[in-house]
Structure 1
């Protein structure tokens, strides 16, 4: 990570860069060493330097005197090529990196963490991979997951399509965790796949003893060798390391900022649990797309303007009007309770539907499903042609509406698409037992 705020401004003003040799004097103690990149867990006012002894220390720059002793270069990893051990007896596995913590390697000389852009980088970080598959790894882009957008989803879908079309028996997507569930949901609608597609990430970087990168990646490899040919998310099932859960990509959500078991399947169990290189179905009665049961296909037409709007007390109906005036092609409402919003907002929504803008209703409760026949506000929304989508997650409804509007500009067809269970995004057997994480 880069330094930010006051520290960044100070470094720029002093012409000090990562890799430079600096001297820091504070409280009558002097430290000399190489300036390192900022770890994600360090204090915002702290500089990290590597001492000649090899140890890294952090020094708060408040009331410190800092001087650059010598220019340096940003650390580079220069190692011999890795023996990939290609074998006809192994599955062919493609690993595509979009960025994120899981696809990184450590330069142990400097303590810096860098993105893994090549198969060699990835295999050095996880040499065990070659025991399980022939690895083809590449970076399709390198972004923070909060910078993900529909244009990147389209590029990712096409990259996956090419890998499968060229013979991949499974595809892993290395992705930042913050928006992984959006990407997984979007890919589930854009792709029909005969092989497993697994998104994975890490909550803690590979330079930390508690990193989950290795466990998640190896479990994802096991998942790609399974019979579950869907877009899935594979992450820790508990805070400990023994197992990972395989979630349906359009049924999962990130539920914690830092826990390693941050992902939860909503309104259903995970598809499977992975431990000791084995995949065990969690619910034997659940239906899923099986390997080679579907022909490879891609439909990557997405709308350009769809908005996800959260209802809250005091929300102004002008927000809906703004989206209409700006030419948005669809709206997903994250309503309260069973799928409600205020009377004033209903009036604005009526204007949107009168102008043939599809409006979809979900619930911010997450667990349970919408039912707009219970209260008068819900019935008014139904009268205004709002589309309820049962227990579909708001994020899933957003990505699906982007896709649905990309398929048709006919209101009835969009309604039919949104209310049809295409890729397991609607749970038709909802039960109270899914209210808590299993």
Structure 2
């Protein structure tokens, strides 16, 4: 198994005279004796883990290029290097975005091995640090064949969440992540992974180079349409709008959405609410009006994940290809 370590809270120590981040190998040595992945662990739960460190920004400032690099390294580890699973340690602020981007790009790697992302809310020296426990549970989950085919997942607080469904819902609790209203995929208990539900359908097959410059704009009553053209003028290859309800955006934006669509700039409409994965133009009660001027529905994705999806979709071709990719999502 491969451990890709990016630093952040799960690896931070305030030890006197030596504060700083532990390497991936040091993280494994910090696991409790006998934990899966810990050096020298005997018996049936022993897992051989190779640690590699990845230079990365803090999670709250992680660039799309770093997220894409993690996705490529995880996929390559399974398809080209022969690892049967990958664990990625990551800060929690943008853990769900990186996990979903890794999921979208996993391709055949998702069928051959598990890809598990984890992090921690408390640093290593804080009371009741959740890092070692989360890492040990992630190794257990990644070593279990039951996760093959599930795609990238997030393992925290002994729960395993699908990348498409998981969201950070609490900034300070060790129970920081939830998949609600969807179920967790499983739990790690007694040193074993227990499968509890089926994963979401796999995303469309992807072959190409994702875009890294996609803008995300939160809409509000009275929003000036110039905000959309400004991000495009600055280089954005696509735009995600965070709307309200089932995916409503102010009518003042409709003309600009139509213009951007004519220019070949896809505009995806997501919602700040939990919504159905049904196509936006099939919603009732007048919802989805923006699709009549060219907008693309986000298929129930949270705005931040819709941005990841649009990054990938832009690698499939022009605006018609993007629209078709989202239709299959």
| TM-score of the two chains, using structure 1 as the length reference | 0.66
Cα 1:267–1:359 change in 2 (3 A) is farther
Query: What is the CA-CA distance between 1:375 and the residue it aligns to?
Result: 4.3
Cα 1:369–1:169 change in 2 (3 A) is closer
Aligned partners of 2:223 and 2:252 also within 8 Å: no
Aligned partners of 1:97 and 1:142 also within 8 Å: no
- Structure 1 stretch displaced more, 341-350 or 173-182: 341-350
CA displacement, residues 294-347 of structure 1 (integer Å, 9 cap, x when unaligned): xxx985611132111111223211101212333421111111101111111222
- Comparing both chains, which one has the higher relative contact order based on Cα–Cα distances under 8 Å and sequence gaps of 6 or more? 2
SS of residue in 2 equivalent to 1:339:
coil
Q: Distance in 2 between matches of 1:418 and 1:112?
A: 48
Query: What is the CA-CA distance between 1:179 and the residue it aligns to?
Result: 0.5
- The within-5 A match list for 1:10-409 is 93-105=1-13, 107=15, 110=16, 112-119=18-25, 121-126=26-31, 127=33, 128=35, 129-130=38-39, 131=41, 132-164=46-78, 165-192=80-107, 193=109, 194-226=112-144, 227-229=146-148, 230-236=151-157, 244-283=158-197, 286=199, 299=207, 301-368=209-276, 371-372=280-281, 373-376=283-286, 378-379=288-289, 381-409=290-318
Q: Distance in 1 between matches of 2:106 and 2:190?
A: 30
Q: Distance in 2 between matches of 1:357 and 1:245?
A: 39
| Rg larger in structure | 1
Cα 1:112–1:315 change in 2 (3 A) is farther
Q: Distance in 1 between matches of 2:77 and 2:206?
A: 12
Cα 1:157–1:111 change in 2 (3 A) is same
Cα 1:282–1:316 change in 2 (3 A) is same
| TM-score of the two chains, using structure 2 as the length reference | 0.86
Query: What is the CA-CA distance between 1:416 and the residue it aligns to?
Result: 1.1
Aligned partners of 1:172 and 1:220 also within 8 Å: yes
SS of residue in 2 equivalent to 1:331:
strand
Query: What is the CA-CA distance between 1:212 and the residue it aligns to?
Result: 0.5
CA displacement, residues 168-200 of structure 1 (integer Å, 9 cap, x when unaligned): 121110100000111111111112211001000
Cα RMSD of the aligned pairs, angstroms, is: 2.2
CA displacement, residues 86-139 of structure 1 (integer Å, 9 cap, x when unaligned): xxxxxxx211111211124564xx1654212242x1233115323221121121
SS of residue in 2 equivalent to 1:308:
strand
Structure 1's unaligned 5+ residue stretches are: 1-92, 237-243, 290-296, 422-438
Query: What is the CA-CA distance between 1:378 and the residue it aligns to?
Result: 2.9
More strand by share: 1
CA displacement, residues 222-258 of structure 1 (integer Å, 9 cap, x when unaligned): 101122132111111xxxxxxx111111221111111
SS of residue in 2 equivalent to 1:102:
helix
1:413 maps to which of 313, 321, 325? 321
Cα 1:304–1:288 change in 2 (3 A) is closer
SS of residue in 1 equivalent to 2:291:
helix
Cα 1:376–1:142 change in 2 (3 A) is closer
Cα 1:215–1:365 change in 2 (3 A) is same
Q: Distance in 1 between matches of 2:245 and 2:206?
A: 36
Cα 1:163–1:105 change in 2 (3 A) is farther
